[in-house]
Amino acid sequence: MPLRAVARVNVGAVERNCAVLARAAAPAALCAVVKADGYGHGAVPAARAALAGGATWLAVATAAEASALRAGGLEAPLLVLGALSPEELGVALAARADVVAWREEFVAALAAHGQRDPSARTGVHVKLDTGMGRLGTRDPAEAARVAAAVAAAPGLRLAGAMTHFATSDDDPAFAREQLARFLPWAERIRAEHGDVLLHAANSAAALGIPEARLDLVRCGIAVYGLDPFHEDPGRHGLEPALELRSYLAEVKPCAPGESAGYGRRFVARESTWLGTVPVGYADGVRRALTNDCDVLVGGRRVPLVGTVSMDNVTVDLGPDPPPRGGDVVLLGRQGEQRVLAEEWARRLGTINYEIVCGIGPRVPRAYHRDGEPAA
């Protein structure tokens, strides 16, 4: 019997996506962003595949995510992108992760943790906020003082100077303004302190703004074969790595006037057959897809009808239904047809990131390489 729902992740696709990104970014290095459990794909398998595909750095958002990667056996250079509380700092340092700093107090706290072994000095990346308005300081003088404090601290090493774009997907002109604010500061830091990596680009900038690639690109969404520009990832040679599959747990006739689901939001106008697919909003099939989504059955698109419930959805199979037990693809490809995360995102007024991060922990992830069991 098939599993009620499974997210099948093709590590071969992650490898190839990273090869595409690494080639595009060269001579800049590729840092694969595997935060949020690898955007829902599984952080450890995604990180392994990304490194096999040509990434040389990994990045996460939290200290706990850094620990999980080390526990999974990953030894690549690792950057924690997020803010760190005093408690989390110790966890990040124990994971031998580089960290991001923009305040002198934080550097003092880091230095207090600093290791004495010069080969184990903690790498610190100083962040200038050039327009994202989130983490980092907006004051280049403060950022320069932070860099100097890092360089002067015996247990620390000034490893990077960075910023983050707010609009590289939909307003590259503003991203270029951010880059123009970043570069003079970053180049001064490098001139003063020597070997410091300059980095700014996320996926959209790595693909769309060549001059933003600098020394390192930090790619997340594109690693997983999703389009940072919200259209078709194939335009950039990217392949979606994740498929969400389930099966027809029930197939039953539905007479005119009969309904499906809570609130009777689908009432049959003519005789048809309904299929029940045991996957619901607790698995990441958002309730707002009610009466507004297609799934793939037998290589064709059929409409999801009725309210998405916590554990089930219903689909209209039409007059000639396939038998019970057949495969259903909610995201992914079946025959010539495919449903992209970008399609769900458009229907839901959100972005593909939220679709894949929203696939719940109740859905097991199954790893393969182009259909063969992944090692």
Ligand X SMILES: Cc1ncc(COP(=O)(O)O)c(C=O)c1O
Contact 50, 33 (CB under 8 A): no
The single residue among 219, 302, 304, 331 that binds ligand X, judged by CB under 6 A, is: 219
Q: Which tokens is 94 given? A: 């124990």
The single residue among 125, 157, 164, 286 that binds ligand X, judged by CB under 6 A, is: 164
- Site mask for ligand X (CB under 6 A), range 72-101, x = bound: ---------x--------------------
d(CA 96, CA 109): 16
Smallest gap from Cβ 344 to ligand X, in A, equals 17
Q: Which helix (H) or strand (E) holds 83?
A: none
3-state secondary structure of 68: helix
Query: Which one, 36 or 148, has the nearer CB to ligand X?
Result: 36
Is 252 a catalytic site residue?
no
- The one catalytic residue among 247, 252, 262, 281: 262
- The one catalytic residue among 35, 247, 281, 367: 35
Query: Which one, 95 or 293, has the nearer CB to ligand X?
Result: 95
Smallest gap from Cβ 122 to ligand X, in A, equals 18
Q: How many residues bind ligand X (CB under 6 A)?
A: 11
Smallest gap from Cβ 13 to ligand X, in A, equals 16
- 228 is an interface residue for ligand X by CB under 6 A: yes
Query: Which one, 147 or 201, has the nearer CB to ligand X?
Result: 201
- Cβ within 8 Å of residue 194, ≥6 positions away: none
Contact 8, 322 (CB under 8 A): no
| HEC-encoded secondary structure of 169-183 | CCCHHHHHHHHHHHH
The single residue among 221, 313, 329, 356 that binds ligand X, judged by CB under 6 A, is: 221
Smallest gap from Cβ 148 to ligand X, in A, equals 23
Q: Which tokens is 246 given? A: 């389930």
Positions in 42-61 near ligand X (CB under 6 A) = none
Phi, psi of 114 (to 5 degrees): -50, 145
Smallest gap from Cβ 242 to ligand X, in A, equals 14
Is 127 a catalytic site residue?
no
d(CA 102, CA 24): 30
Query: Which one, 97 or 221, has the nearer CB to ligand X?
Result: 221
Tokens 């100097």 sit at which residue? 148
Smallest gap from Cβ 219 to ligand X, in A, equals 5
Contact 143, 137 (CB under 8 A): yes
Phi, psi of 308 (to 5 degrees): -70, 125
Query: Which one, 224 or 344, has the nearer CB to ligand X?
Result: 224
Positions in 20-39 near ligand X (CB under 6 A) = 33
Query: Which one, 330 or 356, has the nearer CB to ligand X?
Result: 356
Query: Which one, 221 or 297, has the nearer CB to ligand X?
Result: 221
The single residue among 17, 130, 203, 307 that binds ligand X, judged by CB under 6 A, is: 203
Select from 58, 65, 63, 4 the least CA-distant residue to 31.
Answer: 58
- What residue is closest to ligand X based on CB? 220
Smallest gap from Cβ 167 to ligand X, in A, equals 11
- Cβ within 8 Å of residue 19, ≥6 positions away: 53, 54
118 prior amide bond cis, ω within 30: no
The DSSP line for 315-352 is EEEESSPPPTT-EEEEEEEETTEEE-HHHHHHHHTS-H
Catalytic residue set: 35, 262
Interacting residue ranges for ligand X, rule: CB under 6 A:
33, 81, 164, 202-203, 218-222, 228
